[in-house]
Chain A
């Protein structure tokens, strides 16, 4: 049974009186522990696909099974619960809450999930150590470098021990060396068993993945390992 199973996905946006097919009859199956790069130029539908995979958006047609469960029919709150427990997001612009410290940003998913403060503290302390941020715990995002910010974001994405990490251009706002460092970090997590899906238009970055899915005009044009 694949971790992610998309069949016949359609996503149509209405812009004025014209309809835009962001995704058309898409089939995709991803096994647990895979490292997949979804590539394509802007407007190819790769971001829409990522949003669908992250349950932030619903398809107009087709079905999405996550860990064998049909998640397209779930209510908004049930989807929120799935996001909280099974999916971790890493964004291009980090999306850290500016007024919270690194520590509090990492703890945010656990706070939202209602996990007790004591448990949060030990898990955050461990994450800070694992990601080399122990001496940055009390710093706010504007006191951190770009690489450190993205490491905080990755720590936050993994703190709930999700099954899959969805990374949207994770190196887009970083210089080459820092980007390399962040990618190594994500790949290490993948080696630890987490499914990693990276969306990028950068072919060099995409080439690092074991499997590449190329998109064009909302359709899958190439899928090779």
Chain B
């Protein structure tokens, strides 16, 4: 039998039982679509997080108080293991490092902001003038915090949403805004920027760091943001920052310094594994679909026993019959895979429309894996029924029907 004839024969056989074929293709396509949609979701989440981190600002090194991870036994730990607070002084000291361009201390807390009888919960960020540049933010109106040494001025820069909700159509610049039990003069309004890693920059009130420390009655900092001179300098900035803080903290390494790249790589890895896992779970449905192919093909062999007997009587050798059934199983799998891929892409498209912030595109490897698995399971599970058809006894097969 010529390959083209085998193909035509198998296609006609599949088309000869439309309901059976449709159900089979549906089962296979659900499996493939599940893999495509779920990996699109997982990969979308990964890209979302990666984007969020990039929006934090580039060449970023973050210093946080406390030591994370164990460094083995240190004799110093036997005497004391109290962590020293990060201070504004630490932040200033970091500027001495040759690889460091800017630093910004951060104190964060929540408080209530009131203006003209309107009250709203806000996130208060205490920092210095360089914060704006490090976070790559922009001021829409007015100006950012002044670059003064004391950092205690009662001035505030507010997010776009705060402005809109508290001031409405009235001009906000120059107004006195009450935050907690103090009053601040609004000197600037941040440009709308949207999400930034859980902290919505449109809903913050930025005040000088010392004022914020006074407000929250603390001496410590939440973070110190450090900007390296350029990308290659990030690693140097990290080690230098660690050295300086260590020297200032009685030679004890009681801070953790992380680079944005390291966080990014970790999240990237975690979410890639997650995507792989979700895809793997979806792939189970492909195995189920494969067993269904086998089931359907076994039914087909039983249904067409008379026909198989006839083909043998007409001089078809065993392998011609096997090829015909195997081709049919493969055709069913391929159409299921193609159909499923289209459904999956459609599903991902709907997801993207429902959640525009989530870039839910299925990764290429997932598409190849899903379609490849579908076709190979179909082929694999088609072998047994095809063998069975080829081995049928011609006399018995002919007497059936």
The interface of chain A, by Cβ under 8 A from chain B, is: 51, 54, 56-57, 76-77, 80-85, 87, 89, 91, 93, 95, 97-100, 108-109, 111-114, 116-117, 156, 160
Contacts and interface: CB of A to CB of B under 8 A. Distances in A.
B318 interface: yes
Given A85-B315, A99-B16, A117-B5, 19 more contacts: A54-B313, A56-B313, A57-B394, A77-B317, A77-B319, A80-B312, A81-B315, A83-B315, A84-B314, A84-B315, A93-B401, A95-B401, A108-B314, A109-B314, A111-B9, A112-B311, A112-B316, A116-B2, A160-B315
Contacts of A54: 313
A149 B394 CA distance: 22
B399 to A, nearest CB: 9
Nearest to A98: B16
A108 B316 CA distance: 10
Contact of B314 (A77, A83, A114): A83
Contacts of B9: 111
B395 A91 contact: no
Nearest to A88: B314
Contact of A57 (B2, B310, B395): B395
A76 B315 contact: no
B268 to A, nearest CB: 53
24 contacts: A51-B395, A57-B394, A76-B317, A80-B316, A81-B315, A82-B315, A83-B313, A83-B314, A84-B314, A95-B309, A95-B310, A97-B307, A97-B310, A98-B16, A99-B13, A100-B12, A108-B314, A111-B2, A112-B1, A112-B311, A112-B315, A114-B2, A114-B5, A160-B315
B309 to A, nearest CB: 8
Contacts of B307: 97
Contacts of B13: 99
A89 B313 contact: yes
Interface string B284-326: 0000000000000000000000110111111111111000000
Given A111-B1, A111-B9, A112-B320, A95 B306 contact: yes
Nearest to B315: A84
Interface of B: 1-2, 5, 9, 12-13, 15-16, 306-307, 309-320, 394-395, 398, 401
Contacts of A112: 1, 311, 314-316, 320
A114 B1 contact: yes
Contact of A56 (B5, B15, B317, B394): B394
B328 to A, nearest CB: 12
Closest 7 A/B residue pairs (Cβ): A84-B315, A99-B16, A83-B315, A80-B317, A56-B394, A77-B317, A112-B316
B302 to A, nearest CB: 15
Contacts of A85: 315
Contact of A91 (B1, B315, B318, B398): B398
Contacts of A111: 1-2, 5, 9
B17 to A, nearest CB: 9
B16 A56 contact: no
Which of B5, B15, B307, B315 has the most chain A CB atoms inside 10 A of its CB?
Answer: B315
Nearest to A84: B315
Nearest to A50: B395
Contacts of B315: 80-85, 87, 109, 112-113, 160
B204 to A, nearest CB: 71
Contacts of B319: 77
Contacts of B313: 54, 56, 83, 89, 95
Given A56-B312, A56-B398, A111-B5, A76 B318 contact: yes
Which of B16, B310, B313, B395 has the most chain A CB atoms inside 10 A of its CB?
Answer: B313
B18 to A, nearest CB: 11
A91 to B, nearest CB: 7
Contacts of A100: 12
A65 to B, nearest CB: 19
Nearest to A87: B315
Contacts of B12: 99-100
A156 B2 CA distance: 19
Nearest to B321: A112
B4 to A, nearest CB: 8
A54 B313 CA distance: 8
A43 to B, nearest CB: 14
A62 to B, nearest CB: 18
A156 to B, nearest CB: 8
Nearest to B304: A97
A56 B316 contact: no
Contacts of A99: 12-13, 15-16
